[in-house]
Every structure is written in structure tokens, then in C-alpha cells.
Structure 1
Amino acid sequence: MVETRRTVVAKLDVDDSDATLLHKTVEEYLWAANYIVRDAWQDDYKPTSKTKLHERTYSAVRGETRLQANLVQSARNKAAEAIKGVVARWKNGKKSSQPHFTTPSVRYDKRSATFHEDYVSLSTVNGRVEAKYVLPPEGENPQTKYLRNDDYEVTGATLQYRDETDTFYLHIGTKADVEPEIPDEGDTEHSTVLGVDLGIEQIAVTSTGMFWNGAYLNHRRQEYERIRGNIQHTGTESAHRTIEQMGDRETRWVEDSLHRISKAIVQEAVAHGCSHIAFEDLIDIRDRMPGAKKFHAWAFRRLYDYTAYKAEAEEIATTQIDPAYTSQRCSQCGTTLRENRPSQAEFRCQQTVARSLLPQRATDGSE
């Protein structure tokens, strides 16, 4: 079984009074996210830790808005992700300015929203409102396949308002454990799967031949472990605080690296017209991968989650499948062979190689 995530868009039917509450909620939610960013921008070193941003801004946001606690946390998470993105671009030598949110939207989770079969209950600045889904008839559509399907679980949603139609929409995230659909080697006409293989030396390798070396990541990890070990010998309270600060810095650095890799993976899928990104199954990956530690399992899960989140925006599904099929499958012709991946840093489609060895037809009119 593999995990598949899909996003379903549902139009909401709300009356004028409920629409007013939702507009007010969107307004205060955006104010909260922008306030948190402005607070972070006061420092030369921009804080990206959700914990630190929470400590700095939670009380002020609760005092200045009518948002309930879960929506304040959601706004904080939105701000933290934007700040991390800017810091990551700076580290890559790219220009990036202070984020400012204007798109009328609110992220809901299962604490701030309750999802029912044909309607949703959403937290607002004044209690909750219930809004019915406006769905197409049951049939061959995403709403039927994912939202009306008991096999799929709702994970959360983003409320969006479209000014041109004066309508609220809910982008509902769903997930399910399903049997992997691996096309036959001969069924290549509609092959649109980007395979992602995971490893220690090469942290990620795609079926298009792109790879990201894990040597520097592993080196930095080992250096942090060595320094922590030396500091622990002192046993002082100051040493304990230093170790905690190092842990925060290490986590931020690793997450920034994983964000960049996940963005590149999604860009690779878009460039090749892929409708699915298939990671190898993460269950028991430490048992299957010699030398893998708890850190690697955590990093792989983070990379998968970041990729799935970014892929949703491009309407690309993300799944986990048997590792035998991920990076061995050619995204262009669909051929899935172990020989396609002679080494972790190399991909060579055997179907393409075979075609290149065929006698070429003469172009001068002779046979």
C-alpha cells in the first residue's frame, strides 16, 4: 500500500452574514501573518523557528485579533514558511524581500474546521459557520473520486475567496493508502510518473537522472554530533543551553536544504509533464537501507512532506511505492528495469540505448 495525496476544490454556499464573518476572518488572519513577519524583520538575523515566533508574537496576535488559538498558530506557520523561503534564497545568493500576504485565504486543520459529507464547519472571528459544498453530480470528477470516497481521509483545507466571482472556495486536502499502480513496461503512452529514489550518499535521485548529493549534509550532521559530544563532557547549564541552540540551528539548516531539494523535484516533475511523483516507501526504510540512522528517516519524511505540499500547488499527486519501481522507471518512455539504474548517481534508459543501436535508415534515397 502507498500513501496518495490529492486536493479537491469545492465551492461553498454561504449566506451574506456568514460571508461577512469569513471576510473578517480572512482579514484578521492575513493581519496576523503579516504582523509575525514584520516582527521577525526587526532582527538582522531573521528567526524562522515556529517556537520562537510563537513566543514572540502569540500574545500580541491574540490580543489584537479575534482569531481562535488554532488559527493564530496557522498564521504563524504560514509566516514561518515564508520567512524560511526568503532566508533560503538569501543563502543561495538570490535577492528576496520581506514577505507580505495579500491573497484572501486561510489555512484550516482538523481543529479549526470540521469536515462532513456535504458541508464544513469553519472557525471564524465570531464562532463557527457552516457552509455547504456545491459539488457536481457523482461521476468521473475529483469530488467524487476523493471527497465522496470513504477510502480518502480529509487532512485539512485552505479557504480562498475569488473576487471576480464573489465566491468562497475550499481547497480540501485528502489522503489514502492505495495499491500502487505501476504501468506495464509496454504501456508507455501515458507514462507521467517521476520516480524518486532515496539514499545516504545521494539523498535523492529522480528517474530523469537528476540527483542531490548527501555528502555535505552527512558531513554537517557528523560535525554537529562531534561538537555536541565535546560540549556534553562539561556538564554545565551553559553547555546544555548551547547544545539546545545548536540543535535549533542544525534543524533550520537541514530543513532549508530539504525545502530546496523538494522545490527542485517538483520543478523537475513540471518540466517533464509528470502527473505523479513516486517516492520509495518510507516504512521501515532504516531496516532496508544499510547505514541509515534515525536522522535519515526523519529527513526522508520531511523531504516527502515538503514535496507533497509543493506538488499540490501544481496539481501533481505524490505517492509512496515499492522502492524497486521508483528511480528505475524512465519518465519519458515508461520502461521500468533494474538495468536503468547502474549506480545511484547514474540513469540510462535501456529502451533508449537499444533504439540507438538499431541500424539507421539511409537519408540519401538508397536502401
Structure 2
Amino acid sequence: MSEWAWRYDDYCITSKSRAEEPLYDELREETDLTANLVQKGIRRAIEAVTGGVEKLKQGEKTSQPKFDSWSIVYDKRSATFNDDHATLSTPNGRVSAEYVLPPENEREDTPFGRYYESDNWNVSRATLQYDENEDTFYLHVTLKNPDYGSDGAERQESESRDDAPENGVVLGVDLNVTGAFAVTSTAESIGSADFLTHKRDQYDQRRACLQQTGTRSAVLTIQSIGSQFSEWSLDWLHNRANDLIEEAGDADVDGIIFEDLTHIRESIANGSKFQQWAYAKFVELVEYKVESTELFVDFVNPAYTSQRCSHCGCTHKDNRDDKQFECQSCRYEVNADYNAAKNIANRYCGYIHCGQKSRGGWATSQLALKSGTLNVNGEYTPSALRG
């Protein structure tokens, strides 16, 4: 990436947005890294090039930046930092990296005890570095004190940690092959999976008719309509991603929670490759777009989210019948996709409740509903109804 940005003798690329357009899709395909990690890689390369350009402007001698070792930068969107381990996003899903900790009775005088375990310091990011000689990965965690600026000066107007909010709010999202494309825990339906499938079927039918013709003109037409449909599909998914982020903003949440992507691919394995691409691309676009916001994206284990009652917790295979959900225990009736979206958000809140650290360092978390929030203990906090 730095080679690409530095290749111009008189005009190096120092804009991250200008570098993303030609590099992003190629890097995603070549590396299988998540959207967030590709973004971080591009940003790191452009920052290095920018530093080199500044040296040249000051009359200093320099050359193209080179990275001698393999490394990845993680932030709270691509990693979760817990008391004794971190979970990291990788091309093969999330992996857990356990910390090598000093003995508990000796921690107080170590950096881990003074900073990582201290309430006065927060994890801001981490760099995963690979030592080729030792064939070992090292995770370097960066922490910051919220009461001090980047220059070390105390922030006179900053709130203390005691006054900072302890709770975060998350939005659960259930993705579907039929009906609404995405349903949120605030009961918002986003897009139509049926409409998307219908458009794809129309394209397939037209392509099949042209293939039967077999003429050169028909081949060229197939290529043309294929390109048009690809552009239309990507634009449609972009708009739906914007709709979801807008809903997250209206609900005033901190994070957007999906089921694990591996499960999404498996759940539609019998469907078309187009469906598999559409759902993976949608989540990728959401991850990409939240880069410019305060939101984060995370994932939960999908087990039984469609069969579990979000009202009483009863899990039974007969609870769900297509798009209808009726609990066999408490008789709670609701749209099945809405029920699943609430379970997805509630499961993430449960992780925090069990002691895992959230992306924002919260003590507890709540799930966003249409007219309020609900925590893992079932305590409901109403809010003004949104229009």
C-alpha cells in the first residue's frame, strides 16, 4: 500500500479516502481481512507516506516507507479486551488470545497491574506483531487515561470516571432470506429480502433467454445487464446499510450486533451464492460505514436465537413457525424476526453481565427496544416513543 501511494515522484497520495477507492476491494479479496482491519491497514500506510512527505517538505532526505515486520492494528471495533484475554477478528472468525500474566501477588509493580487493571486507564487500541524468527505473535496493547490529553496535559473540563456512563446500549439485528431483509430490536424492518430475490430472479431469467440465443450480440448484452445488476445490487445494499446506521442513530445506541457471519453463510448454504454474497456484503458495508461514527459492530453466537422467547427465555423448537413466534411456555406472541433481533442484542448484554468487557468498557449493557431499553435482568426503562 505504501508503495502504491509513494509511486508518484511529484505527487504522493496522502488522503485515506483517495487511497480506499482503488485499494479497498482488492485488499479485501486478497487478504480476506474484515472491513475494519483493511481500513486500518490503509490508514497506517497513508500515515507513513504522509510522514515521509512532511520530511520532504522540510528538506529532509527520506524514501518510500517500508514495513519490515508483519502486523495488524486493532481497535475496539475489531477486538474485545477482557480481564485475562482478548478476542481478535481474523479471516477465520474471532480468535481468543490469552494473556501471559505475572503472578497475582506480583502484579501491582508491573505495567499490567499499574495500567491494564487500573480503573484510571482504558484500552484504546492494540497492535498484533509477528516475530518471524521466533514464530510467535505478540499483542501490544495501548492504553490512555481519559483525564489527560494526548499531550499529557490534564483535561480540566473532563468528567471523572465516576461520572462517566457505566451502561451502553446495543441494537440487535436479525438478517433474513425472506420477508424483511433486516429486522432490528427496535422493531424496524429494513429492506425486503423478497424484493432483492425477485430482482435477482428477473436477471437470471433474462440471462437464460439470452444464453439460448447464443449470438455475439446476446453475449454482449448478458455482460451489460450483469454489470448493471451488480451495480444496482451494491447500491441497494449501500442504502440499506445507511438505513440501519440511521436507525442506530435514532435509537441512540452505541453498537450494532449481528449473529456470527459464519452462521449466516451456513444458514443460507442451500440458497443462492447471490444471497450469501448479499448478506456478507451488507455486514461488510455496515462495518465500513461505522468507521466515521462512534458506533461499533460486533457478533454473537447465533445458537437458538430464533427458538428462544425474548420475553421469558423459554427455548423450544415449536416456538417459531415461519414468521410467527408464540412461546410454548408464556404464550408470548410476536413477529419471529423481531424476537430473534431482541435475543441477539440480549445475548451480547449477557456477555457483559457475565464479566466480559464491552467495546466501550461498560459495566453493564442494555438492548434497545422500540420504546425504551431492557437490561439482562429484565429491568425495563421506557423512553419517549419515536415517530
TM-score when normalising by structure 1: 0.47
Higher RCO (Cα < 8 Å, 6 or more apart):
1
